[in-house]
Amino acid sequence: MKLIFVYNADSGLFNTVTDIAHKVLSPKTYSCNLCALTHGHFKIKQEWVEFLDQIDTELEFLHRDEFLEKYNQSDAELPAIFIEENGEISVWLDQTSINKIQTLNDLKSTVMERKRQLI
């Protein structure tokens, strides 16, 4: 089993700089709540890193363009978290659910609750 976290942002330096500017100048219209929750303006939040280190599951993190290239899921609504089991991927936490989450602690709780449901 693997959890695949997919950001609603493209990879690359230009896109990163654009995303940083958008988060700073207009955070309410930023289109990736997963990014907003887990990253500060310039880097990943240490609290999130420490949380991820405790999850006993394989994890993958992809930007929108990387996800499309690797998994060819052009109809996926992002941001989202997918689960890969036996070579098949499916939505594990959808865009609507992620966009309702307001704090990093809420995201962590949601991930742990959903993970417990798998056991």
Per-block mean pLDDT, blocks of 10 residues, the chain (119 long): 91 59 55 82 88 93 94 90 93 95 95 86
Q: What span, in angstroms and rounded, lies between the C-alpha atoms of 109 and 53?
A: 15
pLDDT at 14: 45
Q: What is the largest distance, in Å, between two alpha-carbon atoms of the chain?
A: 42
Structure tokens at 73: 């899921």
Phi, psi of 59 (to 5 degrees): -125, 145
